[in-house]
Amino acid sequence: MLNNRDQMILEKIIEYCRQITETVTRFGADYETYCGDFVYRNACCMCILQIGELVGKLTEEFTTAHTDIPWRSIKA
């Protein structure tokens, strides 16, 4: 069973993923564009950073129930 805290955290993670997708759509999926535009890089990196922080706040009960997801790698 998903508790409210985990659900709220997962919803925030999904929102950050949506923001990354929107950023890539806006700037383009070209690696050179990504490397050459600090605004593009910072927008994506900030979302990734937030996702890593949020993963660390998920309950142990939730993460151990979903061992197919590399939680430590995401957090790192």
Domain boundaries, the chain: 4-65
Task: Compute the distance between CA of residue 46 and CA of residue 72 in angstroms, rounded to an integer.
Answer: 18
0.85 cut: is pTM over it?
yes
What local confidence, expressed as pLDDT, does residue 35 receive? 96
pLDDT single digits (tens) 4-61: 999 999 999 999 999 999 999 999 999 999 999 999 999 999 999 999 999 999 999 9
